Amino acid sequence: MNPATLIFLLTYVLVALGENSPRKLDRPTATLLGAVLMVATGALTRAEARAAIDISTLAVLFGLMLLLIILLQSGFPTWLAFKALGRCRGPRTLLALVVFSSGLTSALMLNDTVCLIGTPLLLEMTAQVGLPATPYLLALATSANIGSVMTLTGNPQNIIIGQASGWSWAGFAFRMAPVGLICLAANWLLLSLLFHRHLAGVRFTESPYAPPDLKVDSRLAIKSVLVFVGLIIAFLWGQPMDFAAVAAGTLLLVWSNRSPREALVKVDWTLLLFFAGLFVVVQGFLKADTSMLLRLEGLAKPLSDHLGWRNIGLLSTAVVAGSNLFSNVPLVLLVSHWIENMAHPQFLWLLLALTSTLAGNLTLFGSVANVIVAQGAQSRSPLKFSDFLWVGLPITLVTTALGVLILWVFFRWGWI
């Protein structure tokens, strides 16, 4: 086994372990270490390492983060969330609101951002009205993951797929939005059944209200919404996602009339570092161990040649298992190098986006969105690994089966 393969495997193990690794290395540091080792051992030259970094993907992430940070600074999303929560008069209505609002919002924003916003809001609201927080926190995490499958900007792995696949934002959304909506409905039904005893007979002790110190900068909110709508129009119009996202973020940064540093310091630079390092590590592996890649591609290619139920099931199961074993973003980055050489690549891109995203609901560590919710709720309503698995297992199985079935129908009808 050559050094590049050992570095690749070491990086994957460290990414999978996260901060549970022996040296307490987080995921960005793990990929940074792997990238440095790839160059230090000669697996890649410095020029090859620079060329491996996909600037377009990083640009989309940066632009979206900048736009969302300024939107949050206006206070409008928090005010809107409490306004919607205030109209709920029962626990089941609230559950439906959390499922569909977090799912639909994740389709337009990054799912991690939705969980970051939603966790403290749900903790505050459930404490006010005397409801258990756990069902709603799990609804937030699982629905944010499901909803993010609907667009190429819903989550990081979809952004990678968008840059590699050739799918337009509108074309992808046109086919995946029905899948996401049906899976959200299934998620709501499953959560209602799983938490039937927790929610039965519970009544709100009082109507939820926004905190008195919550202030909304109306001018900044209007500017943010206008720029965000403009960005969606640009996506639908077929403009390059990387330039459109950076242009929107820059426009709002200038137009907001606030100190740019306030927004720039809140950009998740560690996430961008994670992606940059990951691009280098995967490229080093692709260059060095072509024999292993050819063997893996040889196993997958016959399955794609004949897309019957058995082969689609095997491909979907492999992606779900791999996403939980290695994390979905590294897996998507690796698999994306094979799909163009397979039969029916456009269908396989959608299948990869669907299964790698829904796989995030299987365990607490299946996606970063889940971890954000768990960490945000740790002091007031801790989520155990077993609690998440009890809910995540049936949700992942049902939504993945439904999603794959719908995509197969689209494929058979010639819509893909």
**Assigned domain for 334 exists:** no
Average of per-residue pLDDT across 11-30: 75
Total domains, the chain: 1
Return the structure tokens found at 75.
């206070």
Average of per-residue pLDDT across 374-379: 82
Average of per-residue pLDDT across 347-374: 90
**Assigned domain for 11 exists:** yes
Query: Which residues form the domain of 32?
Result: 1-52+268-288
Tell me what pLDDT residue 250 has. Answer: 96
Rounded to 5°, the CA angle 85-149-285 comes to 135
Tell me what pLDDT residue 223 has. Answer: 95
**Least confident segment among 232-236, 247-251, 281-285:** 281-285
Return the number of other C-beta atoms located less than 10 Å from residue 193's C-beta. 9
**Assigned domain for 17 exists:** yes
Residues 6+ apart with CB under 8 A from 294: none
pLDDT in tens, 43-85: 999 999 999 998 998 999 999 999 989 998 898 888 887 777 7
Residues 6+ apart with CB under 8 A from 284: 4, 7, 8, 34, 38, 43, 44, 49, 52
**Assigned domain for 133 exists:** no
Residue with tokens 């409008």: 76
**Assigned domain for 384 exists:** no
**Least confident segment among 88-97, 108-117, 204-213, 219-228:** 204-213
Tell me what pLDDT residue 18 has. Answer: 65
Average pLDDT, the chain: 86
Tell me what pLDDT residue 351 has. Answer: 95
pLDDT in tens, 314-328: 889 989 988 887 778
Among residues 193, 17, 205, 54, the alpha carbon closest in space to that of 129 is found at 205
Q: What is the pTM of this model?
A: 0.87
**Assigned domain for 277 exists:** yes
Residue 355 has pLDDT above 70, yes or no: yes
With beta carbons less than 8 A apart as the criterion, state whether 74 and 221 touch. Answer: yes
**Assigned domain for 254 exists:** no
**Assigned domain for 46 exists:** yes
With beta carbons less than 8 A apart as the criterion, state whether 328 and 367 touch. Answer: yes
Tell me what pLDDT residue 329 has. Answer: 84
Residue 208 has pLDDT above 60, yes or no: no
Tell me what pLDDT residue 333 has. Answer: 85
